[in-house]
Structure 1
Amino acid sequence: MKTNYITLSLSAVLLLGIYSCKKGEATTSELKSYEASTDSAAVVADSISSAASMKVKDKQFIKTADVNMEVKDVYNATISIEKSVQDLGGFVTKSNLQSNVVYEDTYNTSDTEAMLIKKYKTENTMQVRVPTEKLGELLTAINTSKLFLNSRTINAEDVTANIKYSELEAKRNQKTSENIEKIKTNKDKVSLGDDNMSEGNLQKLNTMSMADNLKYSTVDIYIKEPKLRIAEIAVTNTDSIDNKYKYNFIYDAKDGFVYGFYLIQRIIVGLINIWPIVLIAAGVVYFLRKRKAKRSELSKSSEQNS
């Protein structure tokens, strides 16, 4: 009996030891798994804002973002962002890339050649839309192009109540439509039906718009270059061309002779056009001279008589 008791005791101790080892191995495995998942979550949290990837049970969010940053090359950054948006299943709704010239001047390098120097800054204002679940990935992709991040804003608007209200309004609209059908047909019924249909269409439009905003997040992006760029453009020396054709003596002399000839013609034609005035003026002058001559003769005859 005593031997059986000792055997049972040894068996129990052995089993407990094996169980403890197994439990310890399981606990170590779970801990390692938990630490790995925690490290992975930390990496994700470092690269993506929690607002971009936030999910809450029984909640619906419309997510938008605004990014303002400086990049080395606006054109290359724009191409990279557009490619990332396309790869994530999104699309670009606006891309306004422009170069703002702050100074420009032309320097002559020879009699026929010159160099146009422009100092400018390039910037781009973009608006893109991506699937909401890909918003964090897009923000991470955009972040790779930055030299300096001026600001980044992420908004998550809770529209759960709005969705519920939209559903209730749709039911109310349907009930109103059924009640209108029961009314006897007359002018008022037509007006009520038309108003109810218009309200229903507006409600459907709002529902579709909200569904689209839930499915796709809107991201406004403004990128610019931190310093001025310089463009050197080879152009023609216009000053030498102007000096070359500014004055041509033979042509100008010929042109002056022709102009003088036509001027004489214009004067003659002008005199012909005013011939009545010329004729009247000639008559007045003739009358005045004749009268003056008579006065002169009368004064001479009076002097002789005296």
Structure 2
Amino acid sequence: MKTTYIRLSIATALLAGIYSCKKGEATTGDYQTTEYSNEISADSISSVATMSVKDKQFVKTANVNMEVKDVYDATISIEKSVQELGGFVTHSNLQSRVISEDTYNTSNEEAMLVKKYQTENTLQVRVPTSKLGELLTLINDKKLFLNSRIINAEDVTSSIKYAEMEGKRIKKTSENISELKTTKDKVKMSDENMSEENLQQLANLDVTDNLKYSTVDIYIKEPKLRIAEIAVTNSENIDNKYKFDFFYSAKNAFVEGYYLIQRILIGLVTIWPIVIIAAIAFYFYRKNKSTKKSIPVDKE
């Protein structure tokens, strides 16, 4: 029994029962539309997101890339709209991308930090599929310029039908296993069948969730750079003020010299045996040399 087929079969079997009474959330093939425009009407936004076909099931997703006047305000508005429509936010990454950063000294104590930055945010939201068109309309109202918009409607009708058939097959297999005598092989087959059923339930939960909620990825940014002026301390002047003090440095040099002499003396004390041996050797060397000079030379 192949795991991949099992996942599809279970998901579709359960979904077929849940959504068999629903009419209007599918398409025979994958339907995709991409629009590049700065002026899009509410009708064109909702045409794909809200279209329905009898006896079909849709998994709908959307991707929006646009520029807004204020990213923070737009983010708050979008998140609030999603909650009001019964959806939720799964990811929101708002950040300011710093383009340049410079510090200008305005006095001996003060300076001005000037940052040029661009604010952007990447969001992922999930909204009830029936509210997808309404959400896209609300998002479109916040734009200054629409870079791109993609709406996908994936037809999963065939997968649901196939899953229904696979579910019947797995159920029949389970009945056949139950009629076998209790042996080690029967226990193994029963365990494998239960594992397949668990995988089917997990796949069914995923498909059910994707049918009920549409995923929308949103990227928004501001068209121009912003400038932030931040008052800071003149660190350069402070560094120069305390960089060098003659009297303090002279005092430390005197103390360090004193400790250096101590370390030299302690080092000499540590090697006193070598010093004594060297002194004795030098003494005998000088004595031997003077003795050789005092011996007279015989003349024939």
Paired position in structure 2 for 1:38: none
Paired position in structure 1 for 2:3: none
Which among 242, 248, 253 is matched to residue 250 of structure 2? 253
- Counterparts of 1:55-134 in structure 2, within 5 Å, are 55-134=52-131
Runs of at least 5 residues in structure 1 that lack an aligned partner in the other structure: 1-42
**Partners of 1:170 and 1:200 within 8 A in 2:** no
More off after superposition, 134-143 vs 179-188: 179-188
Which among 140, 148, 152 is matched to residue 149 of structure 2? 152
Q: Please report how far the alpha carbon of residue 184 of structure 1 lies from its aligned counterpart in structure 2 after TM superposition.
A: 1.5
TM-score (norm 2): 0.81
- Counterparts of 1:39-54 in structure 2, within 5 Å, are 44-46=42-44, 48-54=45-51
DSSP 3-state at the match of 1:89 = coil
Structure 1 distance, partners of 2:54, 2:226, is: 50
Paired position in structure 1 for 2:212: 215
Q: 1:269 to 1:165 in 2, by over 3 A?
A: farther
How big is the alpha-carbon RMSD for the aligned residues of Structure 1 and Structure 2? 1.8
- Counterparts of 1:182-221 in structure 2, within 5 Å, are 182-221=179-218
Q: 1:276 to 1:177 in 2, by over 3 A?
A: farther
Matched, 1:136 2:133: yes
Q: Please report how far the alpha carbon of residue 181 of structure 1 lies from its aligned counterpart in structure 2 after TM superposition.
A: 1.6
Paired position in structure 1 for 2:167: 170
Give the counterpart letter for 1:163 in structure 2. Answer: I
Q: 1:199 to 1:264 in 2, by over 3 A?
A: same
Paired position in structure 2 for 1:11: none
User: In percent, how many aligned pairs have the same letter?
Assistant: 69
Q: 1:293 to 1:205 in 2, by over 3 A?
A: same
Structure 2 distance, partners of 1:285, 1:187, is: 98
Q: 1:292 to 1:54 in 2, by over 3 A?
A: farther
Structure 2 distance, partners of 1:184, 1:295, is: 120
Q: 1:258 to 1:205 in 2, by over 3 A?
A: same
Structure 1 distance, partners of 2:138, 2:155, is: 26
Structure 2 distance, partners of 1:291, 1:102, is: 84
**Partners of 1:166 and 1:207 within 8 A in 2:** no
Q: Please report how far the alpha carbon of residue 83 of structure 1 lies from its aligned counterpart in structure 2 after TM superposition.
A: 0.8
Paired position in structure 2 for 1:286: 283
Q: Please report how far the alpha carbon of residue 229 of structure 1 lies from its aligned counterpart in structure 2 after TM superposition.
A: 1.1
Give the counterpart letter for 1:170 in structure 2. Answer: G
Q: Please report how far the alpha carbon of residue 273 of structure 1 lies from its aligned counterpart in structure 2 after TM superposition.
A: 2.9
Q: Please report how far the alpha carbon of residue 253 of structure 1 lies from its aligned counterpart in structure 2 after TM superposition.
A: 2.2
RCO greater where, 1 or 2, for CA within 8 Å and sep 6 or more?
Answer: 2
**Partners of 1:52 and 1:135 within 8 A in 2:** yes
Structure 2 distance, partners of 1:285, 1:195, is: 96
Which among 221, 226, 230 is matched to residue 227 of structure 2? 230
Structure 2 distance, partners of 1:249, 1:180, is: 95
More off after superposition, 163-172 vs 220-229: 163-172
**Partners of 2:90 and 2:126 within 8 A in 1:** yes
Structure 1 distance, partners of 2:149, 2:127, is: 17
From the two aligned structures, give the one with the greater helix fraction: 1
Paired position in structure 1 for 2:5: none
Q: 1:260 to 1:178 in 2, by over 3 A?
A: same
Give the counterpart letter for 1:185 in structure 2. Answer: T
**Partners of 1:124 and 1:223 within 8 A in 2:** yes
Paired position in structure 2 for 1:268: 265
Structure 2 distance, partners of 1:182, 1:271, is: 99
